[in-house]
């Protein structure tokens, strides 16, 4: 079973998001249109057009490499105590809806094929109060624990097929679209400037972060890969 993390951006302005995806260096996958398009890096960004700003949001979706893998994923999630519903969408096929404790969806997709390493990793961040229960669901889905803060506030996971998910303890539940970058942030900033954007690079305690205006909502964060592990434990 190969799982790939896909973050889905639901937006009323898909063309602006497609331009930003290209500016970030993501590669468009075949078959996209104005309603649905996918861009690959380490993991997959999907852009889905919606009609109302009230429907704009970010979603976490796991891509399984085939129907059998999706069935195995469902069994693993249910076995770990997740609340899972199965439905069928006309243009997608079987869809798993995980209501909790880590809300997300899962589909079978050819986009789940393992990809070559890329410097830009899709890394949706889930904010919630029960990081322990959410981590158990992530591990049941086959994601590999990578970094954990000693305080218990942060845990992140990587997927064999690409992409990552981070869990951040917070009082209010929600998901934030974000990326991690293992390359030269200054070079990425220069690429974005050439594409007409005005990125900023900010020094954080853990590393540098690039911020750039997104078509909707607050700035998009692209975090430099964390090298300083003070206060964190890296899983082997």
Q: Which two tokens stand for residue 170?
A: 């917070």
- Residues 22-78 have pLDDT tens digits of 999 999 998 889 999 999 999 999 999 999 999 999 999 999 999 999 999 999 999
For the chain, the domain total comes to: 1
pTM of the full structure = 0.95
Which residues constitute the domain of residue 107? 3-111+119-234
Q: What's the pLDDT at 229?
A: 85
Spell out where 42-197 has E strands. 43-49, 57-64, 83-89, 93-100, 104-108, 120-122, 125-128, 144-149, 154-158, 164-169, 174-176, 178-181
Give residue-wise pLDDT tens across range 15-24: 999 999 999 9
| Nearby residues of 66 by Cβ (< 8 Å), 6 or more positions away | 108, 112
* CATH code of the domain containing 84: 3.10.180.10
The model's confidence at residue 117, banded by pLDDT at 50, 70 and 90, is: confident
User: Mean of the per-residue pLDDT values for the chain?
Assistant: 93
pLDDT of residue 114 exceeding 70: no
Q: What is the mean pLDDT of residues 191-199?
A: 97
Query: What's the pLDDT band for 1 if we cut at 50, 70, 90?
Result: confident
pLDDT digits (tens, 9 = 90+) for 83-100: 999 999 988 899 999 999
Contact by Cβ (8 Å): 221, 179? yes
């Amino acid at each position: 079973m190969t799982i790939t993390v896909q973050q889905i951006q639901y937006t009323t302005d898909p063309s602006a998001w497609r331009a930003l995806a290209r500016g970030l260096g993501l590669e468009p996958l075949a078959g996209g249109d104005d309603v649905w398009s996918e861009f690959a890096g380490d993991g997959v960004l999907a852009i889905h057009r919606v009609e109302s700003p009230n429907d704009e949001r970010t979603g976490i979706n796991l891509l399984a490499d085939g129907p059998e893998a999706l069935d195995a994923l469902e069994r693993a999630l249910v076995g770990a105590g997740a609340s899972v519903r199965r439905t069928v969408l006309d243009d997608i096929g079987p869809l798993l809806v995980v209501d909790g404790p880590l809300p997300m969806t899962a589909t079978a997709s050819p986009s789940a094929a393992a990809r070559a390493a890329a410097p830009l990793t899709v890394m949706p961040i889930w904010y919630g109060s029960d990081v322990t229960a959410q981590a158990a669901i992530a591990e049941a889905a086959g994601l590999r624990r990578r970094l954990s803060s000693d305080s218990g506030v942060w845990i992140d996971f990587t997927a064999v097929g690409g992409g990552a998910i981070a869990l951040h303890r917070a009082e209010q539940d929600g998901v934030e679209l974000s990326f991690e970058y293992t390359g030269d942030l200054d070079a990425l900033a220069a690429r974005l400037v050439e594409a007409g954007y005005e990125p900023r690079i900010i020094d954080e305690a853990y590393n540098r972060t690039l911020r750039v205006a997104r078509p909707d909502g607050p700035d998009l964060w692209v975090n430099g890969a964390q090298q300083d592990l003070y206060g964190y434990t890296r899983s082997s």
